Structure 1
Amino acid sequence: MEAVILTSEQYNNLVNRLDNLNGKLEENSKKPQNVFLDNQEFIQLMHISKRTAQTWRDEGKVSFSQIGSKIYYKMKDVEVLLDKNYNKAFKNKR
C-alpha cells in the first residue's frame, strides 16, 4: 500500500469538495418530486401506451408541461396521480 502525503490546504480542499458532493447527493435524493420525466419515461414507468398517456392528459388526470411537441411530467404529479387512485386493502370476511 502506498502512502500519499497532503498539505493541510490540499486536505481541507479535498474535504470541502467531498462535503459539497455529499450535500448535492442528499439534496437530489430527498427531492424526487423535482425530477421531470419526458413522455417516453412516463409511459415506461406506468406501463401504458402513448394513447393512454394522451387520454390521461386530456381528461386532466395528470398534470404536464409542454414545450413544442415535447411533453414532461413532474414526478410529484405522477405521485399525486397514483395517490388519488390508491385503494386500501380490505379484509375479506369469510
Structure 2
Amino acid sequence: MEAIILSKNQYNELLKKIDEVKTSLDEKQKNPKDVFVDNQEFLQLMNISKRTAQTWRDEGVVSFSQIGSKIYYRMSDVEKLLEKNYNKAFKKVKR
C-alpha cells in the first residue's frame, strides 16, 4: 500500500472541504421539499406529456415558476398535488 504524507495545513484544508461537502449534503437532505425541478424532470417524475403539464399550469392544477422559457416546479407543490388527489384504498364488499 502506498502512503501519502500531508502537511498539517493540507490535512486541515482537506478536513475543511470534507466538512463543507457534508454540510451541503445535510442541508439538501433536511429540506428536500425546497428543491426545484425543471419541466423535463417534472414530466419524467409524473410520467406525463408536455401538453398535460401545460394544461395543468393553465388550469392552476400545479404551481410553477417561470424564468424566460424555463419552467420550474417546487417539490413541495408536486407533493401537494399528489396528496390533494390521493384516494384512500377501500375494502370491496363481497356479495
What TM-score range do you get, normalising by the shorter chain? Answer: 0.7 to 0.9
Task: Work out the percentage of aligned pairs sharing the same amino acid.
Answer: 67
TM-score by length of 1: 0.83
List gaps (5 residues or longer) in structure 1: none
Equivalent residue pairs, number: 94
Q: Would you say 1:14 and 2:14 are equivalent positions?
A: yes
Residue identity opposite 1:52 in structure 2:
T
Residue identity opposite 1:16 in structure 2:
K
In the alignment, the residues of structure 1 paired with residue 17 and residue 70 of structure 2 have an alpha-carbon distance, to the nearest angstrom, of 36
Q: Where does structure 1 differ by over 6 angstroms across 4 or more consecutive aligned residues? A: none
Distance 1:48 1:7, change over 3 A: same
TM-score by length of 2: 0.83
In the alignment, the residues of structure 1 paired with residue 11 and residue 21 of structure 2 have an alpha-carbon distance, to the nearest angstrom, of 15
In the alignment, the residues of structure 2 paired with residue 24 and residue 17 of structure 1 have an alpha-carbon distance, to the nearest angstrom, of 11
List gaps (5 residues or longer) in structure 2: none
Q: Would you say 1:27 and 2:21 are equivalent positions?
A: no
Give the aligned CA root-mean-square deviation in angstroms: 1.7
Partner-residue secondary structure (3-state), 2:73: strand
